[in-house]
Structure 1
């Protein structure tokens, strides 16, 4: 089992993945929520580090006092209460506009995806759409 089905079934490790699919949003939502995961989506263009952090905070429903910095991102990601898939449709804009900022944010997302325990449910980010080359694995 591979790809999204494997991820949702716990056969593929959570992480930050490039995801090449034409799966419709409604079908994705049905698959993710049907497996007991929450789905959040970033579809608006965000280029700067501040814009990206704001878009992540909005998508994941972070509190109004979310600080829009990497420490606040880490803390808020650790507070997620359900297994969560974050679908980032416009990631390429941020990666092209501010590669250093993008890489720092992705590292925090990767670190959180690697941290799974009884009180830290699974977390995965799917980067769908065009963007520059990365060292991120593809989700088959």
Structure 2
């Protein structure tokens, strides 16, 4: 968990990263919350469209009822997060393979946080196109 530990401790910039870890979701949640960060989880098995992925992210991050599950709403809701957040996205390759362009756009929105906005670390766990996202080591 050294790469994640570095992000949580402020020694590595948050962003969108592939993450190789066998830790169960509950253990990751405990570590993230112990460090004072919020946690969200997406089980991406079967998610192959942008709309499905955006809805799953909204549920995982507990976005408000009015969340429109579109890119503008995603960006707005990320700005309104109450604090630093880790989103663990298992089985992310469905969207990356089915809609590679939209996968890049969605992860771009997730990873492009301004200095005044809450930090978001997205951990993409599982097999997927390695050339799309850097590895968090």
Q: Give the distance between the partners of 1:16 and 1:83, measured in 2 at CA.
A: 14
Aligned residue in 1 for 2:131 = 134
Secondary structure of the structure 2 residue equivalent to 1:32? helix
Work out the number of aligned pairs and report it. Answer: 136
User: 1:134 Cα deviation (Å)?
Assistant: 2.7
SS of structure 2 residue aligned to 1:3: helix
Note if contact 2:48-2:99 (Cα within 8 Å) is conserved in structure 1. yes
Give the secondary-structure state (helix, strand or coil) at the position aligned to 2:87. Answer: strand
Deviation at 1:44, TM superposition (A): 4.1
TM-score if structure 1 supplies the norm length? 0.91
**What's the counterpart of residue 34 of structure 1?**
34
Match of 2:67 in 1: 66
Structure 2, unaligned runs of 5 or more: none
Query: What is the alpha-carbon distance in structure 1 between the residues aligned to residue 131 and residue 107 of structure 2?
Result: 11
- Per-residue displacement from partner, 1:90-120 (whole Å, max 9, x unpaired)? 21011111111111101111112xx233xx2
Q: Which runs of 5+ in 1 are unaligned?
A: none
In 2, Cα distance between equivalents of 1:61 and 1:96: 26
CA root-mean-square deviation: 1.5
Q: In structure 2, what is the Cα distance between the partners aligned to 1:96 and 1:58?
A: 22
Contact between 2:44 and 2:94, CA under 8 Å: does it hold in 1?
Answer: no
CA deviations 1:19-53 (Å, max 9, x no partner) are 01111222211110100001100014311011011
Counterpart-to-counterpart distance in 1, 2:17 and 2:90: 12
Do the aligned partners of residues 97 and 135 (structure 1) sit closer, same or farther apart at CA in structure 2, a change above 3 Å counting?
closer
User: What SS is found at the alignment partner of 1:85?
Assistant: strand
Structure 2 residue aligned with 1:6: 6
Equivalence map 1:1-140=2 (5 Å): 2-45=2-45, 46-112=47-113, 115-117=114-116, 120-140=117-137
